[in-house]
A = this chain, B = another copy of it.
Amino acid sequence: MARKILFQQAINEALDQEMARDSNVIVMGEDVIGGTGADGEMDAWGGVLGVTKGLYGKYGERIMDTPISESAFVGAAVGAAACGLRPVCELMFIDFLGVCFDQIYNQAAKFRYMFGGKAKTPIVIRTMIGAGFRAAAQHSQCLYPVFTHIPGLKVVIPSSPYEAKGLLIQAIRDDDPVIFCEHKALYAMEGEVPEESYTIPFGEANVVREGSDVTIVALARMVGFAEKAAAALAKDGISCEIIDPRTTSPLDEDTILESVENTGRLVVVDEASPRCGMAADIAALVAQKAFGALEAPIELVTPPHTPVPFSGVLEDLYIPGPARIEAAVRRIAEYA
């Protein structure tokens, strides 16, 4: 029987294996150890949700707590990357990008180009995304479209423990700056994960489910919701193909386009805000490059164009769920 572990354990394992393999890999962030300078235990938190727990005991000075000054420590990670280290830097919630964005998109992302190819900045920024925790407007955003917009950045969004480990190892070994987005609602997801280290290449989508009537493209937590919807639709004889791009930059255009060539119908599901988001990005790709195959309007399933509300009843309405995906598929499955 293959071993099963949690999504968050898969991330921990990826970090552990890469730190063991390459002494240039370092980890930094707020409370990634926890307890620095205090009178109680060290490694008290291991990250705000425990994801980096245990690394301090093994790697000592190669994992560092930071003051709350994201510009300084993200920038430090970028500078260290330019000087030969391979920092994995934690930006606790992606919502906080606003206090350190410059170091990411004007510095890390542009060094190589501005410097005529003479620099590399192999930094990974791990960060939590997504709603569902009643964490309200400043701790629930997705925001990866903002990073996807920036040339020079790679953006990775795992949807299962298996992808989490393989993609994170790839991210650490990758020589470009990578934004690694972890949906907090997936941390407790269990799945089969090989014990040995492995990589999943960027820009290769995962065909989560094969089908012939409608293509559903979904990311992160939405992949599971799409599977639920597809299972329900299958009972009514509607066959959905589900594609998880896994990385939004680079994007595996071919797998998406081929699927739409077969099905002629596309639903894009995205938890990010709708305007200039990933749903729009993928819809535009298909409207440009697979137009001839399209037999129905493209459906975009996203939250409304509002901040994330606190109240549970509102937040549950905010998040695109299986029912909305199912309805969208039905709408275009019937279109003629």
Contact status B298-A106, CB under 8 Å = no
Contacts of A251 in B (CB 8 A): 275
Q: How long is the Cα–Cα vector from A143 to B145 in the complex, in angstroms? A: 12
Contact status A98-B109, CB under 8 Å = no
- Let me know if A149 is at the binding interface, CB within 8 A: yes
Scan A139-165; emit 1 where CB is below 8 A from any B CB, else 0.
Answer: 000010110111110000000000000
Query: Which of B98, B150, B300, B307 contacts A101 (CB under 8 A)?
Result: B98
- Let me know if A114 is at the binding interface, CB within 8 A: yes
- Let me know if A284 is at the binding interface, CB within 8 A: yes
Contact status B102-A102, CB under 8 Å = no
Contacts of A113 in B (CB 8 A): 137, 306-307, 309
Contact status B307-A297, CB under 8 Å = no
Q: A297-B289, A307-B114 are in contact. Are A138 and B101 (CB under 8 A)?
A: no
Residue of B nearest to A109 (CB): B307
Query: Which of B104, B288, B298 contacts A98 (CB under 8 A)?
Result: B104
Query: Which of B100, B149, B298, B310 contacts A284 (CB under 8 A)?
Result: B298
Scan A263-277; emit 1 where CB is below 8 A from any B CB, else 0.
Answer: 000000000110111
Contacts of A307 in B (CB 8 A): 109-110, 113-114, 151-152
Task: Write the nearest CB–CB distance from A151 to chain B, whole angstroms.
Answer: 5
Contact status B109-A102, CB under 8 Å = no
Task: Write the nearest CB–CB distance from A220 to chain B, whole angstroms.
Answer: 16
Contact status A145-B276, CB under 8 Å = yes
Contacts of A143 in B (CB 8 A): 149
* 17 other A-B residue contacts (CB within 8 Å) besides A95-B106, A284-B300: A98-B104, A99-B101, A101-B101, A109-B307, A114-B138, A114-B310, A143-B149, A146-B276, A276-B277, A280-B281, A280-B285, A281-B284, A283-B288, A287-B297, A288-B300, A291-B296, A292-B297
A-B contact pairs, 29 of them (CB 8 A): A96-B102, A98-B101, A98-B103, A98-B104, A99-B101, A101-B101, A110-B137, A113-B137, A113-B309, A114-B136, A148-B275, A151-B273, A151-B305, A152-B306, A251-B275, A276-B278, A279-B284, A280-B280, A281-B284, A283-B288, A284-B284, A287-B294, A287-B297, A288-B299, A288-B300, A289-B297, A291-B296, A291-B297, A291-B298
A interface with B by C-beta (< 8 Å)? 71, 95-106, 109-110, 113-114, 136-138, 143, 145-146, 148-152, 248-249, 251, 272-273, 275-281, 283-289, 291-292, 294, 296-300, 304-307, 309-310
